[in-house]
């Protein structure tokens, strides 16, 4: 079972292949059946210098999945993989140094490994580094740096980074001017979590992912509709501007012709302002929608969208 040493909102994560397992999660690795053949095959590839296999051996040693848990071995394999540029292994070294697993606890060393992975664009490491700067762990406390790294992680979809960044904006912890739109954008993830929890689904429970998927789908549809509306609105404004320009030209031409006819003693034309408008143009209407989603527990969630804003309740 993974040893838990978390503080505050830090959600350092040990990742394996395409999936991820949070430190301190409810998984019980002692219940996992021995993976003898997997361990043997992976170990052989790791000994041959394969970085991904070295990383996996680090994970196996860290969790004790199929072998005896051994933080020292995990550290050794992670370091070998990190030396070859494996970003997840690099981040996980930072986790182990911060938690003091297999090594003396050392936040400065943790920051070093987080930074190496973060600078390669790894979202979890960017989030971890932002947390360290926000809390002054291993580095001098610096909200500007915290916002920088949280934002980089948030732009890759890291939910905790979005939430923490929203909190910093809302609490004016950022050195930049408080931005209401940023607060709304980054704290939206926490709001979605609360919505699903109100329907009886907590993170990690069956049905929670489905609830979040329905909210995300409603938001995506709203964003697509809003983008289409903005394109139509821009086209409408251009057509209106072109029509006005055409009418102005015609009006000036009518005035000139009117004066020429009057000077020549000819009868006046029809009113100068009596101009044709051509084909009518219609201003587009901002989209709105109302959807109901049946959740696994039998309850119905309603999502209402107006423009790009989606409210599920």
- Per-residue confidence (pLDDT) for residue 84, from 0 to 100: 94
- The percent of residues in the chain predicted with pLDDT above 90, rounded, is 27
- Per-residue confidence (pLDDT) for residue 271, from 0 to 100: 46
Nearest Cα residue to 63 out of 97, 99, 98, 22: 22
SS3 state at 292 = strand
Determine the Cα–Cα distance for residues 171 and 45; give it in Å rounded to an integer: 49
- Per-residue confidence (pLDDT) for residue 3, from 0 to 100: 35
Flag whether pLDDT at 77 surpasses 60: yes
Flag whether pLDDT at 21 surpasses 50: no
Flag whether pLDDT at 286 surpasses 50: yes
Q: How far is CA 211 from CA 81, 299, 303, in A?
A: 37, 11, 11
Determine the Cα–Cα distance for residues 77 and 57; give it in Å rounded to an integer: 6
What is the average pLDDT across 302-313?
70
Residues of the chain by 3-state class (helix, strand, coil), percent to 5: 55, 10, 35
What is the per-residue pLDDT across 198-244, written as a single tens digit (0 to 9) for each? 777 666 666 666 776 777 777 777 777 777 777 877 887 888 888 88
Cβ atoms of 190 and 163 within 8 Å: the answer is yes
Residue 254 burial by Cβ neighbours in a 10 Å radius (0-12, 13-18, 19+): middle
Which carries the bigger pLDDT value, residue 175 or residue 93? 93
Lowest mean pLDDT among 41-45, 124-128, 263-267: 263-267
- Per-residue confidence (pLDDT) for residue 266, from 0 to 100: 63
Residue 61's contacts (CB-CB under 8 Å, 6 or more residues apart) are 67, 69, 70, 71, 73, 74, 77
């Amino acid at each position: 079972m993974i040893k838990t040493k978390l503080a505050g909102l830090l959600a350092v994560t040990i990742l394996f292949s395409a999936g991820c397992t949070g430190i301190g999660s409810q998984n019980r690795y002692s219940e996992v059946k021995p993976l003898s053949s997997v361990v043997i095959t992976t170990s052989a590839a790791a000994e041959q210098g394969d970085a991904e296999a070295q990383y996996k051996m680090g994970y196996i040693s860290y969790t004790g999945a199929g072998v005896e848990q051994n933080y020292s071995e995990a550290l050794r394999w992670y370091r070998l993989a990190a030396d070859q540029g494996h970003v997840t292994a690099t981040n996980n070294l930072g986790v182990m140094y911060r938690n003091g697993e297999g090594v003396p606890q050392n936040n400065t060393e943790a920051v070093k490994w987080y930074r190496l992975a973060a600078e390669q664009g790894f979202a979890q490491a960017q989030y971890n580094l932002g947390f360290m700067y926000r809390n002054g762990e291993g580095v001098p406390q610096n909200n500007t740096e915290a916002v920088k790294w949280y934002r980089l992680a948030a732009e890759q979809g890291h939910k905790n980074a979005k939430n923490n960044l929203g909190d910093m904006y809302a609490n004016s912890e950022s050195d930049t001017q408080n931005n209401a739109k940023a607060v709304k954008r980054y704290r939206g993830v926490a709001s979605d979590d609360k919505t699903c929890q109100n329907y009886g689904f907590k993170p990690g429970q069956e049905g929670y992912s489905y609830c979040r998927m329905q909210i995300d789908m409603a938001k995506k549809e709203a964003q697509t509709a809003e983008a289409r509306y903005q394109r139509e609105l821009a086209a409408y404004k251009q057509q209106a501007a072109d029509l006005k320009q055409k009418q102005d030209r015609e009006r000036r031409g009518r005035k000139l012709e009117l004066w020429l006819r009057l000077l020549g003693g000819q009868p006046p034309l029809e009113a100068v302002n009596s101009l044709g408008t051509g084909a009518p143009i219609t201003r587009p209407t901002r989209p709105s929608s109302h959807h109901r989603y049946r959740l696994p527990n039998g309850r119905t969630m309603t999502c209402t969208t107006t423009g790009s804003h989606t409210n599920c309740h």
